[in-house]
Amino acid sequence: SPTDSLSEYADAQSFINTDNLDTVPTLWDINTSNTTAPAQSHRFHGLASLDDITAIISTPPLGGFQPQRTQSAPEEEEDAEEEETEELGHVDTYAEYKPSKSKIGISHPDIVVETNTLSSVPPPDITYTLSIPESTINGGLLSALQLEAIIYACQQHEVILQNNQRAGFLIGDGAGVGKGRTVAGIILENYLKGRKKALWFSISNDLKFDAERDLKDIDAASIPVHALNKIKYGDTATSEGVLFATYSALIGESQAGGQHRTRIKQILDWCKPDFDGVIIFDECHKAKNATSTKMGKAVLDLQNKLPRARVVYASATGASEPKNMIYMSRLGIWGEGTPFRAFDDFLHAIEKRGVGAMEIVAMDMKVSGMYIARQLSFSGVSFRIEEIGLDSDFKLVYNKAAKLVTDELGLVSRKSLWGQFWSSHQRFFKYLCIAAKVRCLVALAQKELEGGKCIVIGLQSTGESRTREVLDENDGHLDRFVSAAEIEEMKQSLLSKISVLGKELPLNTLDELIDKFGGPDKVSEMTGRKGRVVRRPDGSVRYESRAEQGLTIDHINIKEKDRFMSGEKLVAIISEAASSGISLQADKRVKNQRRRVHMTLELPWSADRAIQQFGRTHRSNQVTAPEYIFLISELAGERRFASIVAKRLESLGALTHGDRRATESRDLSKYNFENKYGTKALDKITKAILGHIENKVPPPKDYLGGEANFFRDMKLGMMDVGIFCKDPRFGINTEKDCSITKFLNRILGLEVHKQNCLFQYFTDNFDYLIEKDKKEGKYDMGILDLAPGNDEIYEEKQETFLTAGNPQDGQVVLYKISVDRGMTWEEAYNRSLKLSGPDEGFYLSHKLRGNHPCVLLAEQGRGKSFIVYKPNIGKQTHPESLDNLEQRYRKVLPEKAKDSWENQFTFSLKKCSHANWNGKCKKIEEGQECLQGMRLRQYHMLCGALLRVWKRVSDVVSDITNSSILQIVRLKTKDHNKQVG
């Protein structure tokens, strides 16, 4: 009975090998005697009877069990350890994308990929018939990918949710897939079906021009676009077409009062209550960030007041951050008739369950037909990291600046000043870091220009582009610090010190770059600033406006873009403020088809935002893919961060594997500091530096003056940069809202060696916390692949359960999977032919096991270790040292190894190692099961509409395994069936 299984399980727990504790509670080794497969489907609102599930779950979790210690000699124990290793790892995260059920349209001009997880689940069958004219489809104005998204969106719009609102659709396509055209296509489709009015919300008013361009590109220029900001509050002219507005317009109010004094009232009057046209929420994640909840409420309010509207959410990061989904109420994931009563229940459930849970949501949405997410592949893109050493002169100036700022301004403690002070502080030191790279960038760029390429330079901070106006008008970088009267008497001494330092400080980066490339006539500047400092022919310098006859700043940026794309200028500089929506790729339709070299002076702290920026130069329809160069200095962790972004790009390239056993982990999550480990590490180091706790992680060894000095200097330094503050009641403590980002920005104000050591101490703690969780089985590995690189995976049987839900019933399928992890003689022999090292090759054990010695193939690994392959388990997880090998084995020629290899391969298919070694196995004689060293591994896997049963399953599993983490796993069977569960 299940209870007996449970007590057995508890006894067995003591044999779990702690090294394998990040094993997988959702995948279970199957105790075949325990499972009977009912023929029919079960219908349930949660799960089948608990007993059914418990019977399956209560068999041991995979990979962790050791044979009973009483029956094996120490040497056998060692072999057992090696053989019972985990069958999990990471494979590449992306797969090439082709529409699986939609057959119309011309294929997209570039390679597009989808995450491996999403590619494992199919979209629903197509029932919708398009009205978009043949000419648009056959002319390739909308690609097959874009048409597929339009079909699924319109199909989903036919569904009415249980709360009587019309279901919505989420487009999660990344930069370069052409979200704008897809959205225009949805508007055109509805227009042709007689729904002549549509609302299009976005983040800025100038994107109205893009909306018009997208409609024109698909032959729908006849649909007019009205900008809401150009319409008077009282005017509710009921013209057809698209009403284009920003999110902030939703909370706009007229000062004049009167009946139509709010924009939302005006919009509702334009729509009429029975409105069933399209509402597009474009870049909806931005609206969430940019806002008070007032705007979020307005978005929800609009959806509630127009229950029949056809809602489309468009955002490349919509489903990667669950908190951004708050107003995607039309997806029907939470609310009436769903497992989650309200959005907060959904959010809590997902955040509690870690990285993999969000992927389950995405899969669930794709299966249900409400979500599609593709990205441009980065294949063909090259990238390299150029490390720039800081010369001693620069370090000297940097350290002087850090000292000046802390010595003089550490004295001031007026609340009103601090906001301004710290934002200027951060900008100033960021500027210094960037300035350190200018000389090197110019030299690299000149070389690339001579080689027939053209240059795009990316600056990140939008804040800087705004402050440039101030910097242009005031010669002193730091005058903002001292503009308030509290500190009048400090002002004079400070100004004189600043003017001395000012002579040594580098020029404004942007102006210097433009100057070095030959002035504004040679460089297309696309930023938010209004003016710049320019060198005149006689060598003198003056400030001039960027304005051109009758053009706004946005029009100037578009004009500059055209000058670059036509080849009139070969260098472009973009800041994040001005780069959204700007395309700078080597487009087949433009004159300048030189290969783009995209140089990044400053990386954002998130790989996703970096990739967003690279989306400017890497887009559809290009002659060549761009080259990326990251310029990084040795300041606080830039190098480490650049390597993450590079890895991320690599996996976006959907690289191929080659060897079926060669898999390399690409788990980048550990380099993202803005998570619970980052927060914990920051907490640890601040407490340790303040002397509140003893920390297990030692400070960096190379700090001058050793540990005591390190803690003293860091305490003072962190007070200087405002991470620590003095409180009259509690003494020194951490500033109450010190986030990771704030910490990483503030430490830039420390002298070079101090900030590098402090950052090192932080990352050492960060790594330690992750390792600790991994050892204790608490680390969420995200989604792992079962037997990565192994193609001998078979689906043995499946049971289907129906689940009630929204908008229609879903299925949960329980699969029984078997994996043959063995390695045939042919495969081993072919591998041995590629080996040439003196110690590589086949080995036989000194001791006989049964009638045969044990056999293995050793291949030189990293350093002095060897990778080992065995007939029954394939590649062994842990490498072996040569000493270890030579103690127990002797090297032999292939022909001497063949018999033993083939014998062990055949024998181990269904028999454990003990049966092979001793002729019998005690556990089996006692009627138990023993899987040790068996070639065939069996697992249970739950797939399908998991979101609906997640809570029930995880409750059952956590009762038995004491872990709330459900490991989400992917696999691909021998006959190419992909599964995720």
- Residues 542 and 603 reside in one and the same domain: yes
* d(C-alpha 915, C-alpha 923), whole Å: 10
More confident residue, 388 or 606: 388
- Residues 522 and 549 reside in one and the same domain: yes
* pLDDT at 417 exceeding the cut of 50: yes
Which of the residue ranges 352-366, 482-496, 501-515 would you say has the lowest mean pLDDT? 482-496
* d(C-alpha 894, C-alpha 842), whole Å: 6
Residue 290 lies in a domain: yes
- Residues 272 and 404 reside in one and the same domain: no
* pLDDT at 304 exceeding the cut of 90: yes
**How many CB atoms are located within 10 Å of the residue 798 CB?**
14
Residue 142 lies in a domain: no
Burial of 664 (0-12, 13-18, 19+ CB in 10 A): exposed
pLDDT single digits (tens) 1-10: 333 333 333 3
**How many CB atoms are located within 10 Å of the residue 89 CB?**
17
Cα torsion angle, 146, 150, 151, 155, sign: positive
Q: Are strands 841-849 and 852-860 parallel, antiparallel or unpaired?
A: antiparallel
Q: What is the CATH number of the domain that holds 531?
A: 3.40.50.300
* pLDDT at 659 exceeding the cut of 80: no
Q: How confident is the model at residue 498 (pLDDT cuts 50, 70, 90)?
A: confident
Q: What domain range includes position 497?
A: 382-471+486-651
Which of the residue ranges 172-176, 606-610, 774-778, 816-820 would you say has the lowest mean pLDDT? 606-610
* pLDDT at 110 exceeding the cut of 70: yes
- Indicate the SS3 state at residue 377: coil
More confident residue, 500 or 455: 455
* pLDDT at 83 exceeding the cut of 80: no
More confident residue, 218 or 541: 218
- Residues 814 and 731 reside in one and the same domain: no
Q: Which of 499, 610, 522 is nearest to 573 (CA)?
A: 522
Question: At what angle are helices 355-367 and 343-353 packed, to 10 degrees?
Answer: 130
User: What is the chain's Cα-based Rg?
Assistant: 32
* d(C-alpha 532, C-alpha 543), whole Å: 6
Q: What contacts 547, CB < 8 A, 6 or more positions away?
A: 530, 553, 556
Residue 772 lies in a domain: yes
Q: How confident is the model at residue 21 (pLDDT cuts 50, 70, 90)?
A: very low
- Residues 420 and 515 reside in one and the same domain: yes
DSSP 965: P
Which of the residue ranges 298-312, 606-620, 745-759 would you say has the lowest mean pLDDT? 606-620
Q: Which of 304, 182, 203, 194 is nearest to 246 (CA)?
A: 203
Whole-Å CA distances, 346 to 286, 335, 407, 955, 957: 21, 9, 49, 16, 20
Yes or no: say if 437 and 388 are a contact pair by the CB < 8 Å rule. Answer: yes
Question: At what angle are helices 179-192 and 207-217 packed, to 10 degrees?
Answer: 60
Q: And the tokens for 319?
A: 């489903």
- Residues 304 and 233 reside in one and the same domain: yes
* pLDDT at 830 exceeding the cut of 90: yes
Yes or no: say if 306 and 271 are a contact pair by the CB < 8 Å rule. Answer: yes
Residue 135 lies in a domain: no
Q: How confident is the model at residue 861 (pLDDT cuts 50, 70, 90)?
A: confident
Q: And the tokens for 721?
A: 């940069």
Alpha helices in 14-143 (DSSP H): 50-57, 74-83, 116-119, 134-138
Yes or no: say if 169 and 371 are a contact pair by the CB < 8 Å rule. Answer: yes
Which of the residue ranges 66-75, 183-192, 229-238 would you say has the lowest mean pLDDT? 66-75
* d(C-alpha 757, C-alpha 960), whole Å: 44
- Residues 957 and 829 reside in one and the same domain: no
Q: Which pLDDT does position 13 carry in this prediction?
A: 32
Residue 867 lies in a domain: yes
* d(C-alpha 896, C-alpha 155), whole Å: 65
- Residues 599 and 642 reside in one and the same domain: yes
Q: Which helix (H) or strand (E) holds 714?
A: helix 706-720
pLDDT single digits (tens) 449-476: 999 999 999 876 544 444 444 444 454 3
Q: What is the CATH number of the domain that holds 237?
A: 3.40.50.10810
Q: Which of 891, 919, 947 is the last residue of a domain?
A: 919
Percent above pLDDT 90 for the chain: 30
DSSP characters for 743-761?
Answer: HHHHGGGS-HHHHHHHHHH
DSSP 734: E
* pLDDT at 612 exceeding the cut of 90: no
More confident residue, 589 or 505: 589
Q: Which of 699, 689, 698 is nearest to 753 (CA)?
A: 699
Which of the residue ranges 13-22, 813-822, 905-914 would you say has the lowest mean pLDDT? 13-22
Name residue 340's beta-bridge partners. Answer: 334
Whole-Å CA distances, 683 to 572, 688, 717, 735, 740: 42, 9, 16, 11, 10
Instruction: List, as own/partner pairs, every contact residues 320-325 make where C-beta atoms lie below 8 angstroms and the sequence separation is at least 24, other chains included.
Output: 320/358, 320/608, 321/285, 322/346, 322/347, 322/350, 322/351, 322/358, 322/361, 323/288, 323/347, 324/284, 324/285, 324/288
pTM: predicted TM-score of the whole model, two decimal places: 0.71
* pLDDT at 167 exceeding the cut of 60: yes
- Indicate the SS3 state at residue 122: coil
- Over the chain, what is the mean pLDDT? 78
Q: Which pLDDT does position 239 carry in this prediction?
A: 83
Counting the structural domains of the chain, the total is: 5
Q: How confident is the model at residue 68 (pLDDT cuts 50, 70, 90)?
A: very low
Q: What contacts 134, CB < 8 A, 6 or more positions away?
A: none
Query: What's the average model confidence in pLDDT over 133-149?
Result: 96
Residue 127 lies in a domain: no
pLDDT single digits (tens) 320-371: 677 778 889 999 989 887 888 899 888 888 877 666 677 788 888 898 899 9
Q: Which pLDDT does position 805 carry in this prediction?
A: 64
Q: Which of 606, 636, 651 is the last residue of a domain?
A: 651
- Residues 765 and 827 reside in one and the same domain: no
More confident residue, 606 or 668: 606
- Residues 810 and 832 reside in one and the same domain: no
* d(C-alpha 147, C-alpha 369), whole Å: 14
Cα torsion angle, 701, 704, 705, 708, sign: negative
Yes or no: say if 464 and 508 are a contact pair by the CB < 8 Å rule. Answer: no
Q: Which of 731, 729, 707 is nearest to 719 (CA)?
A: 731
- Indicate the SS3 state at residue 809: coil
- Residues 286 and 412 reside in one and the same domain: no
Q: Which pLDDT does position 38 carry in this prediction?
A: 33
pLDDT single digits (tens) 683-693: 999 999 999 99
Residue 134 lies in a domain: no
Q: How confident is the model at residue 431 (pLDDT cuts 50, 70, 90)?
A: confident
Q: Which pLDDT does position 480 carry in this prediction?
A: 35
Q: Which pLDDT does position 92 carry in this prediction?
A: 59
Q: Which of 158, 159, 211, 157 is nearest to 185 (CA)?
A: 211
Residue 13 lies in a domain: no
* d(C-alpha 348, C-alpha 340), whole Å: 10
More confident residue, 310 or 336: 310
Q: Which of 621, 630, 622 is nearest to 596 (CA)?
A: 622
Query: What's the average model confidence in pLDDT over 558-568?
Result: 94
* d(C-alpha 364, C-alpha 372), whole Å: 11
Q: How confident is the model at residue 62 (pLDDT cuts 50, 70, 90)?
A: very low
Whole-Å CA distances, 383 to 129, 166, 448, 626, 739: 43, 45, 14, 9, 31
More confident residue, 939 or 355: 939
Q: Which pLDDT does position 409 carry in this prediction?
A: 59
Q: Which of 618, 651, 684 is the last residue of a domain?
A: 651
Query: What's the average model confidence in pLDDT over 861-871?
Result: 87
Q: And the tokens for 676?
A: 């619970």
- Residues 367 and 388 reside in one and the same domain: no
> Residue 879: what residue type?
P
Q: And the tokens for 844?
A: 């036989």
Yes or no: say if 225 and 208 are a contact pair by the CB < 8 Å rule. Answer: yes
Yes or no: say if 340 and 942 are a contact pair by the CB < 8 Å rule. Answer: no
For the chain, the 3-state helix, strand and coil shares in percent, each to the nearest 5, are 40, 20, 40
